[in-house]
Amino acid sequence: MKTLRIATRQSPLALWQAEHIAALLKEHGFATVIVPLVSRGDVDMSPIDGTRQVGMFTKRIQQALLDDEGDIAVHSLKDLPTEVDPRLRLAAVPQRETVVDCLVSAAAWTLDQLPDQAKIGTGSRRRGAQLLSVRPDLNILPIRGNVQTRLSKLEAGEFDAIMLAEAGLIRLRMDDLSRSQLSLNEMLPAPGQGALGIEVRSDDDDANEAVAKLDDAAARAAVTAERNLLAALHGGCLAPIAAFARIEADQLRLRAVVLGGDGRERLDEIESLPWDADNPIRCGEQLADTVSKRLVDRGARELITAER
């Protein structure tokens, strides 16, 4: 079999993800080479806002597959749009890393300990809305750039604290970074957070066969539930929607929340169904269908539309 070309962004975290997948494929006997590319999201530092920028980190990598610049695309799954391109296939979701978010500050403040009117840097409406639902006094400000760039802005005093995903800090081995983890009751993650998504061309059977060996049934079911819920709500990856699914006591359980941008209005739902390890995708789809219908009946789409 030919050497598989792994297309990836050039940020330190994206390169780590590509190298991680390369190492997993090597364990299964597949040779790889990494093809670094620059995405629009890596050069455009304007605030992420509105549906026009959905997929700005992933489209360049997907196009590399379609243009035969690569055979495999490695994505942070929370950045991958839910719209399906029939020319591409989500071939694997490997075992998932932690989904929690962190509040990074020099004093490792918890959410309760943040000073009144503290300036919090985040590029996520989901994070901003959930912070405001607990601490409406906070001053939520946009921030862009990779992890290192955001940390430099924090150190320069532009913010009192910034929000980052714990999974990225673990992968970058930033074990000593001063931070506090937010509980899932304080901050529910983005759909797909902590998971990697590996795409191949739909007609590339060799790449699909190789990558499929990395698929984890539990992770696949969980992110299917989260992403299908997001798609059903027509949210896109920028909307203030949070969701987290996992297997608990032989049940696949999904928690979801849709918020107004100021955090004052929020719709919470929780549901579970029996876990079927032989049909993880169908299991996730059924759960998402149930929860999304409840949220729609409660006005979720109107709340999402109002935030665009």
Question: Which residues are annotated as catalytic?
Answer: 79
119 contact partners, CB below 8 Å, separation of at least 6: 139, 141, 158, 159, 160, 161
Residue with tokens 């979701």: 93
- What does 27-56 look like in DSSP terms, one character per residue? HTT--EEEEEE--HHHH--SPP-SGGGTTT
Identity (one letter) of the amino acid at 90? L
- What does 240-280 look like in DSSP terms, one character per residue? SEEEEEEEETTEEEEEEEEE-TTSSSEEEEEEEEE--TT-H
Q: From CA 174, how far away is CA 122, in angstroms rounded? A: 19
- By C-alpha distance, which of 254, 246, 256 is closest to 287? 254
User: Does residue 50 come out as left (phi exceeding 0), alpha (psi in the -120 to 50 range) or beta?
Assistant: left
The bridge status of strand 32-37 relative to strand 266-274 is unpaired
Beta strands in the chain (DSSP E): 4-9, 32-37, 72-76, 88-92, 101-104, 119-121, 139-141, 161-165, 179-181, 196-201, 241-248, 251-259, 266-274
For the chain, the C-alpha Rg in angstroms (whole number) is 19
Yes or no: say if 256 and 269 are a contact pair by the CB < 8 Å rule: yes
